[in-house]
Structures are given as structure tokens and as C-alpha cells.
Structure 1
Amino acid sequence: MKQYKLIACDMDETLLNTDASICQRNITAIKEATARGVYFVPCTGRGFRSIEKILKILDLYNCADQYVISFNGSCITENRNCRSLYWRPLPFALADTLYQFAIKYNLCQHIYTREHVYLRGLTPDEKAFLHGRMSYIITDAADLAFLRHHEEIAKLIITHTDPHVLQHIYEEMKPLLHGIDITFSSNRYLEFLPAHENKGTGLLRLATLLGIDAAQTLAIGDNINDIEMLQAAGLGIGVHNLNPKIRPYCKVITDADNNEGAVGEAIERFILSR
């Protein structure tokens, strides 16, 4: 049977419960896998700093030779001392154009840098969704000049709870998106990323750095921004609560959903039982 050496795992709606906690089944399985020398790599749209609490729960915080793929693939960090192995930000002028577009249409948006998340136009619904997930800084700036000489921009997000509205926004913004890739996530986000950066390229880049064949990687996800990661991995696993649009990209679907230890189930079946 194939031996998997690296697990790339999405965070929200995959590893994390709906309330942003981690169930004991997941914690136990991950710790047993890493004790066997298997890499457990969070592969997330968030930044490294926003998942430090999760790394502590999993005994991966500040560990050498343990890694995080963040910002949907445009950043790879070794956990020990937050050592950067790969980083590619958005072009500043392009990010500023997108930011001002969102202001014009009164849209809630996130601005991610390596260290911080800035929010403009925060809605009560978005505030409730983010509770327990990440810290952020509120801004009402008319442009991104306040970041120009201080922080590079990893990505921007526009938020709306109606996927059809997000699709309409995307269609309207298409003329602005030269040199940018987009993805949808959490059934509420339209994300803007550097071109050709995604969770799949991030997974393959880290596997190459570690000398691991792509066939020996396993990926677990739930939503559209996980598709490239599921395709790149030797085994792509969808959790039971997945977005139906990603089902064709999953070789396996767990019986458990994210609240029932879906990640633990996948690790038990394909790592610990072999």
C-alpha cells in the first residue's frame, strides 16, 4: 500500500468545527501521524499568524521541520521562528485598484499582509463569522497608501453571503484582473491572489523542498479554493460537508463532516491503519 508522507489540510470547514474549535478526534489523529514522521501541513487562505493558536493545540507551534502553506499557496513558512521559505505578494498598484473598486460598491473586504488582516466595511454577519477565527484591524482608509512603505499585500478578499452576488461582482471586475487569479471560499468570499498561486502549487513546491514525491501527498479540503490542492495530491479527500462543486476532484469523501472529525477519519484510514 502507498505510504503518504505529507498531509496538506484546509482549515475552515475542514479541520475546524463550525465554531472554529478542533475536535479531539482530529487532534489525536494528527498527533499520532506526526509522531510517525508524517508532515501535517495546514494549507489555508489565512496568514501564518492567524493559525498560531491551532498550531499550539496540535503541538506544531515553533517546531523545526514543520510547515504552513498560507495565503492559498503564495507563502510557505517553517514553523520554527516563522522562517519564510517562499513569499510572493500582490503588486501594490493592482491591489489598490481592487481595494478602491470594493469601496465604490460599498463591499466588505479583507486586506491581508504577512502580519496583519485589515477589514473595511465590516458587517455584523462578517463580524460574527470571524469570531474566534482571527484578529483584525479596522480601517476606513480611502486607499492603501497607509501600507505602501510598511507592509506588502498578500491578497484581498471581498465578502458577501450570496454566491450569486459574488459571481456578479467577479464578472464586473474581470477587466481589472490582469495578472491576478481569483478563487471562491467558505461560500462567502471572493479572493484575489497573485497569478498562478494556489494551494496546489504551494503543496507541490513544499513537497519538492522536502524531497517528497507528489504521489506520497494527501490533501483534505471542502471548497472551491481547495480544488488545485486536491488535484495536485496523490490522494484528494473531500470532507462530508464539501461544496458539491468540488466532488469531481475528490477520490474519497469522508463519512464524517467537519464537526465530526473528518480529518481524523481520513488520517485513521489512510495513515494510521497502514
Structure 2
Amino acid sequence: TENKGSKLLHFEGISFEKASELYKRGLDYDVCIHVYTKDMVYAYKYVQEEKDYLAGRMEVTEIFDDNIDFLKGQEIVKVLYMNTDYQYLKGIENDLKEITSDLDVSYSSNRYIEFNHQGVNKGQGLKKLAELLHVDIKDTIAIGDNFNDLSMIKVAGLGVGVQNTVEEMKKECDIITKATNNQGAIAEVINKRILGTN
């Protein structure tokens, strides 16, 4: 989506059937379930911890049904589960392998497992954006801190991990910033790699 006017540039979501299956399976786990449409994020088991985390970040509609039939006919972007126990989420990924082999599964924000359309990840997003802007992929820079950023970091001309990037990912990055994601890491990269200043 283009920032100016929120113009949609490209869309590849998941089917309602797949989203519904993930939602119903998610009911068996200790997770807050998010279902993203183009216009709204719906959350089931919207616990206070998650409300606090998302406050001011995005608009969320809390739902209470054991199905998402009310979304039939709408385009679904993705489904994600929230739990701050990474190992618990890894267990869920293993449990769901039989229904997620045709999806792109990733982790983000040290609290989410995300289920996207196959091939929908930040790496493919960067490639698509470079194509739309007529920019050679080798002239791009990607900056990230978690596994959902890894595909983008790998395809970019310069793949940057911030100081607080998850440890297992740092070896995949071309450089690691001195700053964390909350301390101006992007400014650090722009100043050093683009403007040539400190």
C-alpha cells in the first residue's frame, strides 16, 4: 500500500476457507487470534496484554464468535496467532503443518505467528516494490529485527539487522547497527550508508 492516500498497489490474500480453518483450529490454543481484512483487524480472545500492546498502533474490532462466517465474501489478508511464548508458537506451527504447507508462515514482534498466502512475505514485497518503482533490487536496503524480516534482508542489496535483532538471525545480515529499533537504527543506516555522515 502506498502511504499517500493508502493506495493499494498489490494484493495476495488467503482464501476464506483457509482463514476459517485457521480460526477454528486457533480456538484450541492459548492464543489471541487476529484476522486481517483490507479494512479491519478482528481479534478473538483479545486479552488486555494485547490491547495494551496495540493501543495507538491500529484499530481492532473484538469478536466473540467461534467462526468467522460474517466475513464470507470479503478478501482476507492473513491470520495470525498471538502468544508471547515463542516455543509455544513453534509447537503450534508443528501441529498445523498439514494445513499450512500451502502458506507462508513467519514470526513477528516476539509475539506472533503469521499465516500468509504462499510467497507473501517481506522479501517478495520488496521485489514487487522495486519492480513497481523501476529500482534494481541491488540498490535497495532492508532493515529488520525479527524472522518475518529475514526474507527481505536476504533479497535486499544491503540487509541490515538492528542491534536487538533476534540472535539467530544476525548471521544472515550484512551489517548490524549500533542502535536498536527504538533508538534510531534507520537514521543510523541512512546517515552512514546513504548520506555518508556519522
Post-superposition offset of 1:131: 1.8
For 1:195-214, list aligned pairs within 5 A: 195-214=118-137
In structure 2, distance between residues paired with 1:113 and 1:209: 23
Aligned partner of 1:176 in structure 2 is 99
- TM-score normalized by the length of structure 2: 0.95
For 1:8-47, list aligned pairs within 5 A: none
C-alpha contact 2:30 2:83 (8 A) present in aligned 1: no
1:87 pairs with 2:11: yes
In structure 1, distance between residues paired with 2:78 and 2:16: 10
In structure 2, distance between residues paired with 1:180 and 1:210: 27
Instruction: Please give the root-mean-square deviation of Cα atoms over the aligned residues, in Å.
Output: 1.3
Q: Deviations over 1:63-105 (max 9, x none)?
A: xxxxxxxxxxxxxx22333222211110110110000011133
Post-superposition offset of 1:106: 4.6
Which amino acid in the other structure matches residue 33 of structure 2? Answer: Q
Percent of residue pairs bearing the same amino acid type: 39
Q: 1:223 aligns with which of 146, 151, 162?
A: 146
In structure 1, distance between residues paired with 2:10 and 2:169: 27
In structure 2, distance between residues paired with 1:132 and 1:81: 20
Post-superposition offset of 1:178: 3.3
C-alpha contact 1:157 1:192 (8 A) present in aligned 2: yes
Q: Which residues of structure 2 form unaligned runs of 5+?
A: none
For 1:121-200, list aligned pairs within 5 A: 121-149=45-73, 151-200=74-123
Count the aligned residue pairs: 197
In structure 2, distance between residues paired with 1:219 and 1:184: 17
In structure 2, distance between residues paired with 1:214 and 1:235: 9
In structure 2, distance between residues paired with 1:237 and 1:259: 15
Aligned partner of 1:262 in structure 2 is 185
In structure 1, distance between residues paired with 2:177 and 2:151: 19
| Matched residue SS, 2:27 | helix
C-alpha contact 1:224 1:245 (8 A) present in aligned 2: no
Which amino acid in the other structure matches residue 140 of structure 2? Answer: T
| Matched residue SS, 1:133 | coil
- Structure possessing the higher relative contact order (Cα contacts under 8 Å, 6 or more residues apart): 1
- TM-score normalized by the length of structure 1: 0.69
C-alpha contact 2:153 2:160 (8 A) present in aligned 1: yes
